Every structure is written in structure tokens, then in C-alpha cells.
Structure 1
Amino acid sequence: MSDMNSTLHDHLKRLDGQLSERFADYDAKLRNIDADLLDVQQKGASIKPQARNGSNLPQVLSKSQALADFKSGASRGTGPIDLGLSIKALTSLQGSTSSPQEGIDVQSQREIGLYGHAMRPLTLLEALPVRAIGSNALSFTRMTDFSNAADTQEGEATSKAEQSITPELVTAPIETIAVWHDASRQVLDDEPGLAQTLSMLLQHGVQAKAESQIIAGAGGNNFTISGFTNEGTTFVPTVAPKADRIGESAATMQASGYQPDLVILHPNDWFAIRSERAVSGNEQYVGPGWASAAEPTVYGMPVVVSPAVTAGTAIVVDRRLVAVLDRMDARVEMSTESGNNFKANIATILAEMRVGLAVFDPKAVNVIDLSTSI
């Protein structure tokens, strides 16, 4: 029993020593806090609020007419008294009016990403039929200047009408469209969302170029797209209004057996058509006007608006007889294995697309001049 008491006594003694040390530490900290508070109070007491004109507070009050009227009994209250106080406060460096500027350099909120380029919707690539191919070109045979020669037989034993067919071998090449950009691995790791933003920007770039080539590619070789304006048939309108020129082209195509179902316009031409007004009456809008929420159409044909079309030109298409050739969809790759990239810790971001256009019948695409005088 005596051993147990001795052990308990030693334990209590050790605990008492620990508590004494802890309380001594707390006491020292409280003394420091008291000293700091006293210093703040003394500095605060030494600050004398100054009015904007340099006067101190007693001077401002002694000159107050409202306070004088209250003291003399002329009024029951002083009302508001403008003390004109100007107490110096800590401000941001960006809001400082002194020279040199003084204050806290407040850090602005940072928005991630890269800005300065509008990535417009590429609706033409979605509107056209797509055909996947497994080579660098598509060859097909189409007829030139075909005209139906079927006719009535002029009695028995007489010669029947003969059909003339002039075949032509056409090759639609696949065009490779690509773009790349270098960036250090450090900045890609340290800047949130930078890699994704660069990938989106470069991918959109090759798709926009592909749309431009599908519309107006010059062709002429085995690696460049021959676009609609190069492959299509020029239509000469006989009416003046732009919408009616498109409608006349569609009617002419329908008379020849085609089914036009798409119109491609420059944004300025679409605006001119949509905002056209009558020249008489109350000058109301000819079409739906700016307030209409309906999908853009001209004579029932859906409209794709693209700045890749030359202003003043409209393209009417029978989509049954054209196809976008998909050899490789737009993709983005990142690599450090190019040149000295690995040693320099540089990553190359590459966007690439392989695409072509097949116009199986030039008469299925009408190119119209909307600006020529009638």
C-alpha cells in the first residue's frame, strides 16, 4: 500500500509541475497582450482628427452656428453638424492619389483561360453529309453536260432515241490542315486550364480553316480541296431582290430534278435579306424581321451563315450530291519528343485534321452573285 501511495504522490507532483509551467507561460503571453493594447491605446490617443480645412475638432465646434443657437436657447437642437473630419486610413495602392502612390498592393482576382479570339460556331460542318474514307483521295465518275434524250419512237421499225453519256473521272483529294504551338511544361502545369484552352483554340482553328476550304478552296492539285465556289455552277439571276435570286436559283434546280435544301450566306447578306423592307405602304419587313426567333430560312431552305463565303455571294446546295470526306477528324496531341523539347522541358501541342469535299454533280451546287445589277 505504501508503494502505491508513493507512486501516486510522484505522479501528482509531476502533474503539478507541468501545470505550473503551463500557467507561467499563459501569464507571460497575457502580459505581452496587455503591453500591446496599451501601446495601441497610447498611439490612438495621440491621433488628433483634423478637419478638411486643417482645423482641429474644438475649433470646428466653437465656430458652429447651430451649436451657438442651441446654447442660447434659440433652438431645441443643433441638428447635424458637419465636422469635416479627415482621418487618415490605410488604402489600396491602386486607389492612392498621392505621388508616389502609397498603400497596400491588393492582388486582383485572376480569371483562368485565354481571351481575344471569338470561336464562332462552325455549323456548316454539321449541316453537310459526311462520308468516312480510308485513303488520301476519293475517285468517282461523273457525267458532263448530261441531257435526257428519251423520246417517242416514230412508228414501228424506226430507230429509237440514243442517249449520249460523256463520263469523266474526278479525284477529290484529302487536305491536311494543321497548326501547332509550343509551351513549357512548367506553365502548363502551373496555369490552371491552360492546356485545355490551347487545345480548344488550335482545334477550332483547323476546323474553321476546313470550313473555309469546303466553301472556297481553290483545288488544282492533289492535296488541296476544290470548294463549292470552284466546283459549283454559276447561276445568273433575272430578279433583283437577294432572297428572290436565291429562290429563282432553287426553282431552276428543281426544274432540272434537283432538290436544293441548303443556302450558305455571308453574315452581311443574311442581315440584308432579313432586314429588307417594303418600298411602299408602311415599309414593313418583307421577311420575318429582327424580332423573329425562327431558324434562318430562305424560301423554306435552311441557311448556314459563314464569313468564309465572300460577301455578295450565295451558295445553294442539293446535299444529296455532295459529301465531306472524313479521313481524320480534328484531334489534338501533345508531345515532348520533338527536337530539343525533352531537354528543354517544352511541350508541342498539335491540332490536325484530314478532310476533303466530293461534289458528285456540279449542277447540285449553284453559286449566285447577289450584287450584280439586273
Structure 2
Amino acid sequence: MKHPNILAASSAAALAMGAMVTPAFCQPEYGRKDGGGNEPDIKQLSRDLKSATDKVKEFAEDAKGRLEKGEALSQKAKEAADEALVKFNELSATMTEIEQKLARRGGGEDTERKSMGQRFVEDEGVKGFMQRPPSKGGVSVEVKAITSVTTDTAGAAGDLIVPDRQAGIVAAPDRRMTVRDLITPGRTNSNAIQYVQETGFVNSAAAVAEGLLKPESSMKFDLKTVPVATIAHWVQASKQILADAPMLASYIDGRLRYGLAYAEELQLLKGDGTGSNLLGLIPQATAYAPQGGLVATTMIDQLRYAMLQAVLAEYPATGHVLNPIDWARIETSKDEMGRYIIGDAADGAPPRLWRLPVVETPAMTVDKFLTGAFKLAAQLFDREDANVEISTEDRDNFVKNMVTIRGEQRTGLAVYRPEAIIYGDFGNVA
């Protein structure tokens, strides 16, 4: 256990070095500057605190010197030390309390917030009006309204409002790609597809009597060559934004791939074969022409007769391709009693007609239809699957810290049997 003199001296020395001593109680004894109890006399409190600090330092130095000489501290000296420490603690606690109040209030009385009522009764115009004899008239006090505007004007607090920023990017809706699934898939390692197509056949087969000359049949073949088309596009971005927003890189990747699929669907259906375009299904399809003298009176009839046309060409149809508008027109068809012909409006019906699936795509022109044996009629060849690459090799990219992001694919389409695909017009749009 430490000696009481040593304990007192070390406490005083600790105070001299700036350590905090927690007081047992605090009773501020300071008056107010305005006599009304609004503000403590901080200047006087600061002077008293400095004086108490000096006394503690003085005692600490004296105690340290005595202890080094081996002299004991007198009872009177210890009582004086205790008194100095208590006084110092009280003053220090009072000063801390005042500083905390000012900090919570945001400063001194110049920055104190006042209610509208306080500002009204303290206004000089109101005071003067109240001191005059009763008379008619009025007085106004200007009060700056606090608003949500962000301009540099009095009362503008709009910059304090933080928007509720939602994560991610709200993208445009993606079209569901369907035409590729109708066609037989395939792959190639070349930039062109060649195939031999039978373009004519005269079948003279017949029953022949013994010893007679057998009839001759003839066939005609044609060598077809279709190119492998490149479908591509690109965007440019800075290296900084891709590094600072990793999500953006994957978003760009997805959008570029979607763009390739979108262009591919249009090429598969409508490519005109000029330049680097594919020669699509519609330009090679057989025109709709009802067989057997049948006359279609509804859209549903037309699709059934298109199936018949493919069957008569020895290619049983496997599906229909329609614009969503035309399929909606068919689904809402009613009989003479107002009942829906296709399915039930409450539960809907699978997109099927005449036992075949109906493929809806906005890529199909409104009021047109495509019916046929798609798997037998055509084949899709992928030379290079859809891919996205990033490059900084361009000189301008390197200098400007930019990157080029490119999406690309290479695809070929071979239509082996044009007669297996029937293309027609519903006749609802002039």
C-alpha cells in the first residue's frame, strides 16, 4: 500500500500533468452576465480555473521536492492539497458542463435557435408598437420559411434531403427469342455452307410387262452456297467507370449479347441475302395458295390450309409463327353466340392451333403468318457463338483511357426445302 503522502503527491503531480480527476460533487458558484440567469460568466470561470490549476501545480512541485529529500508532508499541507484538488475538480466539472451545453446548442447566444413566438416578442417593431398608446394599425415580423428548394436562398434546405437511390439499373424489357428454337441446330468451321439440293424430279416409275423397255426417270440437282454472316456491335466506356462500377461491366455484357440475339432473329426471319445479310426463311418460303379449291373464311381456316399445303408437299407442318397482335385476334374470335372459339377466357389456353404450337414474336410482321415443317426445312450453323470482348489496343483508347467492348457472333442459315415453309397474308390490313 502506498504512503498517504506519496498518494497525495502523485495525485497532485497527475493534475499538474493534465490528468482528469473525477469530482465527488459539483456546485457551480458563478453568477450570470445579464443578471437573469441566462449565461454563466465564462471569463471569470476561466480565470478561477487557471488559478486553481496553478495552485495544484505549485503543491505538486513542492511535494515532489520534499519527497525527494525524504521529508514528510505535514497534516496542514495535506489538507491544503485536498482543498486545492476539490476546488480544481469543481471548476473543471463546471467548465466541462458549460462546454457540453454550448456544443449541443451549436454555439453561443448568437446562434441559438429561437421559436417564432420568441422572435416575435423580441422584435424591435413589436416592442415599439406595444409601447405606443392604443391605436389602429399593425406590425409584421419577417420569418424566412424553410423549404425543400436547392437554390442558394434563405430557408432553402433541399440539399439536406438525400434521395432514396435504388440499386442496379432498370433496363428495357427483353424480347423472348423463339425462331432459333424452331430450326435444326448445327455447327461449322468454315465461312460458307454448301449443300446439294434436288431441284427437280420426274418420276416415271410404272408397272412394266415382261420384255418391254423400262421407263426412265430424271432428277436435277443444284449446288447451293450460303455465307456465314457476322453479326456484331460495340460500345465504348472509360476504364475508370468499369473499375469503379463492376456491375456495369456485366450489365454491358448482357445487353450486347441481347442485341446480337435480337438482330439474329430478324435475320433468320427476314434477311434478304444482300451484302453480308443472311437469306432468311420468309424470302425463301413458298407463297400461300389453298389447295383443292378450298376457300378460307377466317384466320383459323387460313392456318389450317397452310398446314395442308405443306403436307401435300410431303412435309408435315410443325408450327405457326405469328405476330402477337394476330394471335390475340384469333384468341378473341367468337361464335354466333358470343362464346370464345379458342379456349376459355378465364383460364386461357396453351398457344396451340390445329395441334401445332403457335410461336408469338414481334419480329413477325403484323397480318402475316409462317407455317411449315421448320426442322426439316432449314438448319442453323453456328461458326462462332455470341461473345463479348474488351480491348484497349486502339491508340485513341490508350491515350484517353477508354476501352472498346464488342459483341460478335457468326452464323449461317441453310434452307434445304423452301416448299416446306408456307408464307401468307391474313388480309386484315390493307
Distance 2:309 2:96 in 1: 96
Structure 1 position 244 matched with structure 2 position 301: yes
Partner of 2:19: helix, strand, or coil?
A: helix
Give the TM-score, by structure 1 length: 0.76
Residue of structure 1 in register with 2:20 after alignment: 22
The 5-angstrom pairing of residues 1-374 of structure 1 reads 13=10, 17=14, 21-23=19-21, 28-36=95-103, 43=112, 47-48=116-117, 92-93=148-149, 102-105=156-159, 106-115=161-170, 117-146=172-201, 149=203, 151-191=205-245, 193-220=247-274, 223-237=276-290, 238-278=295-335, 280-281=336-337, 283-288=338-343, 290-318=345-373, 319-371=375-427
Shift of 1:242: 1.5
Distance 2:20 2:383 in 1: 77
> Quick one: structure 1 residues 344 and 229, their matched pair in 2 at CA, closer, same or farther if it must change by over 3 Å?
same
> Quick one: structure 1 residues 109 and 338, their matched pair in 2 at CA, closer, same or farther if it must change by over 3 Å?
farther
Q: Which amino acid aligns with 2:100?
A: I
Shift of 1:121: 1.2
Residue of structure 2 in register with 1:55 after alignment: none
Calculate percent identity across the aligned residue pairs. 26
- Choose 1 or 2 for highest CA Rg: 2
Give the length in aligned residue pairs: 329
More divergent stretch after superposition (150-159 vs 354-363):
150-159
Shift of 1:15: 10
**Is the CA contact 2:378–2:415 (under 8 Å) kept in the aligned structure 1?**
yes
> Quick one: structure 1 residues 152 and 351, their matched pair in 2 at CA, closer, same or farther if it must change by over 3 Å?
same
Distance 2:156 2:197 in 1: 78
**Is the CA contact 1:265–1:309 (under 8 Å) kept in the aligned structure 2?**
yes
Partner of 1:340: helix, strand, or coil?
A: helix
Residue of structure 2 in register with 1:65 after alignment: none
**Is the CA contact 1:188–1:195 (under 8 Å) kept in the aligned structure 2?**
yes
**Is the CA contact 2:147–2:155 (under 8 Å) kept in the aligned structure 1?**
no
Partner of 2:311: helix, strand, or coil?
A: helix
Residue of structure 2 in register with 1:70 after alignment: none
Shift of 1:218: 0.3
Shift of 1:30: 2.8
> Quick one: structure 1 residues 191 and 41, their matched pair in 2 at CA, closer, same or farther if it must change by over 3 Å?
same
What runs of 5+ residues in structure 2 fail to find an aligned partner?
22-88, 120-142
Superposed CA deviations along residues 316-341 of structure 1, whole A, max 9, x for unmatched, are: 13113311111111111111112311
Give the TM-score, by structure 2 length: 0.67
What runs of 5+ residues in structure 1 fail to find an aligned partner?
51-86
Shift of 1:216: 0.6
Q: Which amino acid aligns with 1:229?
A: I
Distance 1:30 1:92 in 2: 36
Shift of 1:31: 2.5
**Is the CA contact 1:275–1:289 (under 8 Å) kept in the aligned structure 2?**
no
Shift of 1:368: 1.5
Larger relative contact order (C-alpha < 8 A, sep ≥ 6)?
1
Aligned CA RMSD, in angstroms, stands at 3.6
Shift of 1:285: 1.3
Distance 1:192 1:290 in 2: 46
**Is the CA contact 2:376–2:417 (under 8 Å) kept in the aligned structure 1?**
no
Shift of 1:134: 0.7
Q: Which amino acid aligns with 1:93?
A: V
Superposed CA deviations along residues 95-127 of structure 1, whole A, max 9, x for unmatched, are: x9x988721322322335554633211122234
Q: Which amino acid aligns with 1:310?
A: T
> Quick one: structure 1 residues 176 and 15, their matched pair in 2 at CA, closer, same or farther if it must change by over 3 Å?
farther
Shift of 1:44: 6.0
